[in-house]
Amino acid sequence: MAQRFLMGLHPNLGQYGVWLSVPGVDVVAATAAAQFLLKSDVKNEQVIMSGSIYLPPLSGNVSIPYPASLPQNPYVSFRTYIDNGVVSYPYRLDMAVPRDITIGGTVYYEIQNGFQIHNNTMNFNNLISESYGIYVDYMVFNRSLG
pLDDT tens column, 81-130: 776 666 555 544 433 443 445 555 555 554 456 778 888 898 888 876 67
Q: Contact at 8 Å (CB) between 134 and 82?
A: yes
Higher pLDDT, 84 or 72: 72
Same domain, 101 and 55: yes
Q: How many domains does the chain have?
A: 2
- Cα separation, 106 vs 81, in Å, equals 18
Same domain, 70 and 126: yes
Same domain, 134 and 88: yes
Same domain, 92 and 35: no
**Closest of 13, 39, 10, 55 to residue 141, by C-alpha:** 39
Residue 47 burial (CB < 10 Å; 0-12/13-18/19+)?
middle
Handedness of CA 127, 129, 134, 139 (dihedral sign): negative
Residue 77's domain comprises: 47-141
Same domain, 37 and 53: no
Same domain, 35 and 107: no
Same domain, 73 and 58: yes
Q: Contact at 8 Å (CB) between 5 and 20?
A: yes
**Closest of 132, 140, 141, 139 to residue 54, by C-alpha:** 132
Task: Please report which confidence band the pLDDT of residue 77 belongs to, taking 50, 70 and 90 as the band edges.
Answer: confident
**Closest of 11, 12, 9, 32 to residue 22, by C-alpha:** 32
Same domain, 64 and 124: yes
